[in-house]
Amino acid sequence: MSLKRTTVYLEDEDLRDLKATASRKGISEAELIREGVRLAITRNRVWDEPAGLPVLDSGDPSFAERSDDILRDTGFGDWGRAS
């Protein structure tokens, strides 16, 4: 991994919390910032292409409402009770 230097401006309180969290976790502040950047990128990612999953059209408008009953009838798990 090739790292590049950048500048990040933080509020005093955020910087204090960053330092405390990094110290508590035993990692560098930079590593904690990189982790936060990766999380922010993932959370804000825009997917340009569909997932490629098949779309089911049962033709039954009540299918979604009855899905638990339908799955229970097929024998795939016990949908009505907690394990």
Q: Whose CA is closest to 64, among 76, 52, 53, 56?
A: 56
**79 found inside a domain:** no
Report the distance separating Cα 33 and Cα 19, nearest Å.
10
pLDDT at 54 over 60: yes
Q: Is the whole-model pTM more than 0.85?
A: no
pLDDT at 80 over 70: no
In terms of residue numbers, what domain contains 17?
Answer: 12-43
**22 found inside a domain:** yes
> In total, how many domains does the chain have?
1
pLDDT at 77 (0 to 100) = 61
CB 79 within 8 A of CB 68: yes
**4 found inside a domain:** no
**26 found inside a domain:** yes
* Confidence band for 44, pLDDT divided at 50, 70 and 90: confident
- Residue 72 corresponds to which tokens in the numbers above? 């229970």
**33 found inside a domain:** yes
**68 found inside a domain:** no
Q: Provide mean pLDDT across the span 37-44.
A: 91
- Residue 60 corresponds to which tokens in the numbers above? 């039954």
Report the distance separating Cα 42 and Cα 59, nearest Å.
35
